[in-house]
Structure 1
């Protein structure tokens, strides 16, 4: 069997002797050819060259063509802020200022000629011809809930309480956008359609069942009818929703480091769903050594034991600056585990010694709001948690201090360890955890700040 056949068997829940590996090299692919994130997401030729380099260097069993959750949002009128080393972020929400949520007309669903879609489809076809026999190709689409947030902004979280029927209709529209994108991508040769919805980790299981079960169930059934495999891709601490996600019947679920993979696999195994993940993006891939990355992979596989229904992958889109040798080390550990075990038998990981001094929370002149994120410029769940914090800062002005700590920075990792921050994104006020993997409504956050001010 070639690498693609092994991945396909895994997605069919068949036994294989080799764990498949899928490097989610989105903008990181550009690093391999010295192209910026902006260049690979806007220039088809540069994207194709970069993807071919990923294929040659990292020996993937499957790989995404584009990892950009803003493609559909841009087509539908969202303004984007572009960066050199991250995907773009949504900066304006066309339906944010509407007093009430309303459903756009289906005539606004992007066509194959809208925005960057023609470029993406062309690269998909080229990749299919170049590597499609040996590598499964992933088409990534923005999930309905995250697309709803891109269009409506943070108001979508309050809408879920104020106008339940309108939210259900709005998510129905967003799922129709996703279904159309899936059709385009399957037609262009994609083997797996990954529905990437980071904000699923930011809602309760009750809200998932109420609002998300029907759109996602219908979407995965549609992908199956198209003849492709499906993946439910979620970021953040989605632990509480793993079982509910399984009930929507995707072929696979992808999770990040916020979720205990071994515990999640117990759930996905009960539903005979393949699970993918969850190499830590920053502590291991970005800031670790090649040996750290190799050791993480071997330890994970050893602890898992039964690797049926498992795909090894980064927890999400790899940071642009991940050292190339680290990813090559992961591929080597997957393909030649015995050889790598021998190489690592005397290896001891080095601890970073960064001294972090925490604020004197009991004697602050005014409340301090600390937002711990992977990076609000790249992580959608973090973007909307940070968005809530920014709105609170606007409301309280100089009477409230606010700071973001990005987990992409070593000092922030050390701060998280010292404070005991276990999940991202999380929001603390005066050193106390107030919201963890749940984006607060405006009223909830303002009330928490007022309580801190009254103490």
Structure 2
């Protein structure tokens, strides 16, 4: 039974096969013809879509929804809805104040979209909960704090640690509240999704974030559920600090070398999940590309204990169904799938792109290489860091945004030699890799480059 496979992985037991968890997210709605907004506002659409995912993709585990803005919406953030992505946070209620949110605003079973989500969870549990391990995803405390405070949170970490600790404590309580509600609704695994953790140093995790994460993971464990720590971006340097917070599992995206990361997680006896590439493989690749990617991941891990196969993050809405079926087949039947890729050749052909003539440009060229500024929180805040500072440097610079789900932008990213996203280049030089610059730092770098033009 697939559910038991997930449990064995999270109990760190020997596995006869690697469990498979497709992060179908709003892609599940696309299968049934629903927009992301329609699905994420309607319990019946969620359940109907998940039943189709269960039938097509043969999951061992499955998130009920993949939406990190539920808590932010409850706490006063305005959302920007989309047809093919989860909503993004449009406003930050604490952007211009350091007041603390009132404890009375902490999520309850009646808050925002929570009643609808709990309804979907209970119905999904009734339908497939005996065979499939169900995941409830909560927004991690650091990302939730950034939703409330905006990009100011990064300067706060330098200028006012006490405020950050107080805000993180509130967000930790919110995560515990949501975890309790989801566990009561039948969720087997609570995934604490905090994409912005990759944006801070291991020391900041140890000194500012770790206590909150430990509190959440201990709370989930005390409630009888498993916990996973989901992070986006190049979290290679943060892996050990994350392990020390004590989750049952960690899930990483394609920016991280899974085999090397597993060496770290194995030292702490923590399961690791990942990390089929989302855009180059699942969205734009062929079935053979997807089979090859899965087989390569399976082969990269010598000890299958503590391993869960999954996409690198929430699957793109328009991911071809046949590509995910190919991943599922390779996960369930790896040996026979090898026969299908004996004569494998990559289908991805780089498109010709022109690189700017930085040396002779009239202005400093700021280039942002992002996964998806609407869906990836780290990408959103990196873009905002440039947009917020642009008024001061617009006479001497221009900025361009490249998105890694557009074929031309994928080709440009590869030609520029950008290996980790999100990243920022200034006049062709890689300046920030998976790190969001503060306003003063960005402006200083741009002005210094402008003097050389």
TM-score by length of 2: 0.99
What's the counterpart of residue 184 of structure 2?
Answer: 187
1:49 and 2:48 matched: yes
SS in 2 for 1:45: helix
Deviations 1:286-334 (A, max 9, x none): 1110111001111211121211100000000000011000000011011
What's the counterpart of residue 396 of structure 1?
Answer: 393
1:319 and 2:344 matched: no
Conservation of the 8 A alpha-carbon contact between 2:289 and 2:347: no
Cα deviation for residue 16 of structure 1 reads 1.3
Cα deviation for residue 94 of structure 1 reads 0.4
- 1:224-243 correspondence runs (5 A): 224-243=221-240
> Which ranges of structure 1 fall in alignment gaps of 5 or more residues?
none
Cα deviation for residue 440 of structure 1 reads 1.0
> Which ranges of structure 2 fall in alignment gaps of 5 or more residues?
none
Separation in 2 of the partners of 1:323 and 1:284? 10
Conservation of the 8 A alpha-carbon contact between 1:198 and 1:235: yes
1:337 and 2:295 matched: no
Alignment root-mean-square deviation, CA: 0.9
Task: Give structure 1 regions of 4+ aligned residues with deviation exceeding 3 angstroms.
Answer: none
SS in 2 for 1:92: coil
Separation in 2 of the partners of 1:94 and 1:81? 15
Cα deviation for residue 48 of structure 1 reads 1.1
- 1:21-60 correspondence runs (5 A): 21-60=20-59
What's the counterpart of residue 267 of structure 2?
Answer: 270
Cα deviation for residue 396 of structure 1 reads 2.0
Separation in 1 of the partners of 2:391 and 2:118? 41
Separation in 1 of the partners of 2:292 and 2:343? 11
Within the candidate set 118, 132, 135, 1:135 is matched to: 132
Separation in 2 of the partners of 1:204 and 1:344? 40
Separation in 1 of the partners of 2:288 and 2:75? 44
Deviations 1:94-146 (A, max 9, x none): 00011xx2322211102111110000000000000000000000000000000
SS in 2 for 1:184: helix
Deviations 1:362-389 (A, max 9, x none): 1110111111100100100000000001
1:107 and 2:104 matched: yes
What's the counterpart of residue 427 of structure 1?
Answer: 424
What's the counterpart of residue 305 of structure 2?
Answer: 308
What's the counterpart of residue 359 of structure 2?
Answer: 362
What's the counterpart of residue 15 of structure 1?
Answer: 14
- 1:117-156 correspondence runs (5 A): 117-156=114-153
What's the counterpart of residue 213 of structure 1?
Answer: 210
Cα deviation for residue 6 of structure 1 reads 1.0
Cα deviation for residue 393 of structure 1 reads 1.6
Separation in 1 of the partners of 2:351 and 2:58? 35
Conservation of the 8 A alpha-carbon contact between 1:146 and 1:198: yes
Separation in 1 of the partners of 2:345 and 2:47? 39
TM-score by length of 1: 0.98
Separation in 1 of the partners of 2:81 and 2:347? 36
Conservation of the 8 A alpha-carbon contact between 1:37 and 1:86: yes
Cα deviation for residue 395 of structure 1 reads 2.3
Within the candidate set 256, 261, 271, 1:259 is matched to: 256
Conservation of the 8 A alpha-carbon contact between 2:2 and 2:59: yes
Conservation of the 8 A alpha-carbon contact between 2:370 and 2:379: yes
1:86 and 2:91 matched: no
SS in 2 for 1:32: helix
Decide which moves more: 136-145 or 339-348.
339-348
Separation in 2 of the partners of 1:208 and 1:302? 32
What's the counterpart of residue 113 of structure 2?
Answer: 116
Conservation of the 8 A alpha-carbon contact between 1:102 and 1:166: no
Separation in 2 of the partners of 1:303 and 1:174? 37
Conservation of the 8 A alpha-carbon contact between 2:29 and 2:36: yes
Separation in 1 of the partners of 2:300 and 2:238? 23
Within the candidate set 149, 168, 171, 1:171 is matched to: 168
Separation in 2 of the partners of 1:350 and 1:16? 33
SS in 2 for 1:402: strand
Separation in 2 of the partners of 1:432 and 1:233? 30
Separation in 1 of the partners of 2:389 and 2:366? 10
Conservation of the 8 A alpha-carbon contact between 1:434 and 1:448: no
What's the counterpart of residue 74 of structure 1?
Answer: 73
Conservation of the 8 A alpha-carbon contact between 1:102 and 1:170: no
Separation in 2 of the partners of 1:89 and 1:254? 22
